[in-house]
Amino acid sequence: MPTYSAKPAEAQATRKWWVVDAKDQPLGRVASRIAVLLSGKHKPTYTTHVDTGDFVVVINAAKVKLSGRKATQKMYYHHSGYPGALKSESFEHLIARRPEVPITKAVKGMLPKNVLARKMLAKLKVYATAEHPHSAQKPESLPLV
């Protein structure tokens, strides 16, 4: 029997929508579960060179937790490209200012580093509160243990 390889049109037809509640969940565990859903590794039709993943809506991103003292010690960096322009910000300041960024960055780091990852990351929707505008897609709730 020949090896099955998903076609892009087939993958788009079978996409589902998931809702992940990040309230009081560890950041890394939530991000790894989301990365699996975005890449499609939870499906038997997973193909490495085709985006077979689903859409993921993350709610309550502002209430995600870190263990220990990581909230004050974990730093996020960005650089403008100019000499001496490295900026750093702790997790607790970033989560107060832009609560969707830590989850997005954590998931992005767990995806492959190629063009396909940008397509996968476009299917991630992160919201700070419990309200989201994707109820028309009838997303299913994903239980996180």
d(CA 89, CA 82): 18
Q: Is 96 strand, coil or helix?
A: helix
What is the three-class DSSP state of 86? strand
Arithmetic mean of pLDDT over the chain: 96
Condensed to tens digits (0 to 9), the pLDDT of residues 82-137 reads 999 999 999 999 999 999 999 999 999 999 999 999 999 999 999 999 999 999 99
Residue 74 lies in a domain: no
Residue 86 lies in a domain: no
CATH number for 56: 3.90.1180.10
Is residue 77 included in any domain, yes or no? no
Per DSSP, 4 falls in state P
Structural domain total, the chain: 1
Which residue range is the domain that position 25 belongs to?
Answer: 15-65+99-141
Cα separation, 121 vs 33, in Å, equals: 14
The verdict on residue 4 lying in a domain is: no
89-104 per-position pLDDT tens digit: 999 999 999 999 999 9
Q: State the sign of the Cα–Cα–Cα–Cα dihedral 49, 50, 54, 56.
A: positive
Residue 6 lies in a domain: no
State the pTM of this model: 0.92
Residue found under tokens 């390889």: 5
Between the CA of residue 23 and those of 31, 60, 66, 127, what are the distances in Å? 13, 5, 11, 12
